[in-house]
Chains A and B, each alone.
Chain A
Amino acid sequence: MKSLIQYLGKSTIDLLREMGQIMLLFFEALFWLFRPPFRIRHFFKQVEFIGVNSLFVVMLTSLFTGMVLALQTYYAFRMFSAETLVGATVALSMTRELGPVITGLMVTGRAGSAICAEIGTMRVTEQVDALTVMAVNPVQYLVLPRVLAGFIVLPLLTVISDVMGILGGYLVGVKILGIHGGLFMNKIYEFVEVGDVYNGLVKASVFGVILTLVGCYKGFYTGGGAEGVGRSTTQAVVMSSVLILVSDYILTALMF
């Protein structure tokens, strides 16, 4: 019993310490945001890596999410003849919730892990120390461009995710299940407000910061060679995913 309490206490303290360190890294990156040199090229390189290269996988997963949503809600709504509401349901779910979350999770898997592996490898091969020795701040050089790119790119990806999800819903609902196309779209206009989309994009920005920051943090504090890099990368993906879902709940509770 005592050891259980000890274990819980230790885990809690470790978790809090880690969160604190992540926040410190965040503030340090923020500090460098307003100080030259501004690394515009690095930033755009990261936008390409985090954003452009994730485009296809985000589009694909969002399309199928929209399709399955339409399929599931159609069978439920048919029981009380509300099939025309399928479009609105899909659109609301996508814009408020699934668009940002799916984008966040997919980009975590694709780019968050890669960020962690890259910075982690640089750490264990002393490239991070080499930066420091050459009087270049590694947070400013490595962390800031990635976090900033995540912050800006995730909402953009989410817009595409929203559109693809609704498109998927339309394909299944209208083309396969035979809901009237005009009604389908009309209900979307009726129920979905700009605020829904907007709040979803705010979430996406937060997710973008979380997944890049956690990737950078885990990479930055990697030790123990190739094995350590692998372990950190796994931890980065798990931690980002959990934090995305937890913060999603908190943001939803605050915004809607």
Chain B
Amino acid sequence: MTKPTLLITGASGAISRLVASAISSKYDLVGVDPRPLPSSSHFPGTFYVADYHSRKLDEVFKAHRYDLVLHLGRIRESQKYSPQYRFQMNVIGTQKLLDLCKRNGVKNLVVVSTYHVYGAHRLNALHMGEDAALRASHSFPELTDAVELDHAATTFMWKNRDIRTTVLRPVNIIGKHVRNAICTLLRSGVCPKIVGFDPLMQFIDEKDMARACILALEQTFPGVFNVAGEGVVAYSHAIRLAQAVSVPIPPFITSGVVRILEGLGHFGFPPYLMDYFKYPTIVNDDAFRKTFGYLPKVKTVQSLQNLGPLSERKYLTSSVTDETV
């Protein structure tokens, strides 16, 4: 009996590599990413370098017939890429990927979105369910691509009921191998904190996130699901647990000022994520837990502390082969 084939986008990323190494025995794996694989890392399957919105992605679909697709390849908010590029990759790229899934008879599709789509807003309820309004692009147009990606995936889900589509909206993913904005910030050892604001945050460990992806791939419950870790932590506590120091910045600082500081040198968080350090954006993951029988295994404290002491973090190895999910 041949093994089912699984396509993973964003295959150079930490979560993809964790997922891949955990399930490589069960599936024929194909990875695709616009970035090459980190030099010290190995992908247990075929790996392609391709932009999601380019013709090359068609070739990836011609080369194999996929039963399952895990779309992890969202380019995260960072200063490295222009909003235009991110829109191309995240929105146009995702639309192209979804279209290819439809035309090539993919059976299960998992799209990983983000909790950022809800937007940090003072009117947010404390635990937002999946049907809460997506306010992200309200105050910061830089987050439009995240919201549009989410929209594209959910619309696809409703229109193409024969393809079992699950959209995951995870909270802040943290872990040794992850390099998103929040991890970089906590690892830097110096975290700006807006004076007087100490919002609650949620974190999910990279291993739990990988586990959540696998659950969503293997069980077939279409829908949109929030995915969270163990519970809530105040930002100041997270800073302390990560052995970092908080640097107070005045509350009246505008995103414009942060933008200028960011331009001058590295300044912690991206300006358009500023509101997430002001107002809590907390999601309710009860539905995911109930439907998929998911329970986070890594304690939030543990994963925050596991970012490791500063000196060791500078020489991060990218190998995840020794990790088990």
Q: Do A and B bind each other?
A: no
